Amino acid sequence: MHLDLRPLTVSEYLDRTFSIYRHRFLLFVGLMAPQAVLSMAAAMLWGWFTSMIQFDKGLDPDRLMTFFVGGGVGFFVFTIVHWVLYVLGLGATAAAVSDLHGHLTPEAGSAFTAARRRLGSLLWLTFLMGVRLAGVLVGCLGIPAALLGATAAMSRDNSNQQAALAIVAMIAFLVGMTVAMAAFIYMGLRYAVAVPAVMLEPIGGRRAIIRSIALTRGLKVRAFLLMICATMVAYAAMMILQMPFVVASLVAGPETRTGFWLNMTGTATGTAGQALTAPLVAIGVAVLYFEARVRHEALDLQVMTEALAPPPAPTAAPPAIVSPPPPLPQ
């Protein structure tokens, strides 16, 4: 499957994304699978830990504290490793989609190698994006948090004022969460093609954010539709693969052994669904990157011009130095 560079309509853009996903299903699932496998292992360990606390009523407090400390350290290690594996999968997917646009056959090994070379820039990019999103969250929820703190600090003698302030704080919290979610979506649309920009240009994380903001100008609707389609596919996979086991676990009783194993099975199948659907967004943003460059920078004409350009003329070889013939004998 090779892809041509040309302007796409919205329907063609979505069709190309799903066509790549369908034709190279095993490849792209394999590229995004490592972080999903790690998530499944972590979920299994957490389920085992909670079940041990639930079924072992006489658990020693010192042993319980040891488990909690170990769980905290394990969560920190899991977060770092999952972060690395996730950005590697995103970068490898962008590299594989680029190979398809370059009429090459993508392979998992070469895609991961390309992503590993750009790992530092990918991590820096995602860190900067996370800091910006966290700043928005703090800005939107700072006032509600202050109001809730003031409510808790008030004496019980002022119960009417405390209740009124609590209501105001809850309203401010709901408004802040709504604004934060809208800001998250808008920023996600603006930063949509930052990962392909880091991988394929290549540039640093800060420049990639600026580059993505420029490239997504006028194309945010496509990115939004991609998010909606990917979310619907992910929820459909969850309903099919995970929900039957969750419902069966509730029927059997979460406190029973049967319910525990049904819940663990549902965790495994849910993680499998995540691995199956995660490549959609990564493929879509890579396709959007090429679409943006075609529309804003005429990338298709650049590639066509380079293909039609005559090869450079060979350089003239220096004249050979011919030694004079030896003198004839007298």
81-109 as b/e, with b when 16 or more CB fall inside 10 Å? Answer: ebbbbbbbbbbbbbbbbbbbbeeeebeee
For residue 184, the model assigns a pLDDT of 92
Residue 17 has pLDDT above 50, yes or no: yes
Contact 273, 242 (CB under 8 A): yes
Which token pair is 272?
């499998």
Give the residue, 252 or 139, on which the prediction is more confident.
139
Total residue length of the chain: 330
At 190 the pLDDT is 92
Domain count, the chain: 1
Q: Does 276 reside within a domain?
A: yes
Give me the mean pLDDT over the 263-292 stretch. 86
pTM: 0.79
Q: Is residue 147 part of a domain?
A: no
Q: Report percent pLDDT > 70 for the chain.
A: 83
Residue 266 lies in a domain: yes
pLDDT at position 61: 67
36 — pLDDT class (breaks 50, 70, 90)? confident
Backbone angles phi, psi at 203, to 5 degrees: -140, 175
Give the containing element (helix H, strand E) for 157: none
Q: Which residue has the higher pLDDT, 7 or 91?
A: 91
pLDDT digits (tens, 9 = 90+) for 172-214: 889 989 999 999 999 999 999 999 999 998 889 899 999 999 9
Residues 325, 330: Cα–Cα separation, whole Å: 15
Does residue 203 lie within any of the structural domains?
no
Q: Is residue 148 in some structural domain?
A: no
Domain coverage including residue 80: 10-127+218-305
Average pLDDT, the chain: 82
Judge whether 183 lies within some domain.
Answer: no
* pLDDT attached to residue 144: 82
**23 domain-assigned:** yes
Q: How far apart are CA 226 and CA 224, in angstroms?
A: 5
**pLDDT over threshold 80, residue 70:** no
For residue 255, with 0-12 CB atoms within 10 Å meaning exposed, 13-18 middle and 19 or more buried, which class applies? exposed
Which pLDDT band, with edges at 50, 70 and 90, does 287 fall under? very high
> Tokens 């302007």 map to which residue?
7
Tokens of 57: 């009523």
pLDDT over 50 at 321, yes or no: no
Q: Is residue 211 part of a domain?
A: no
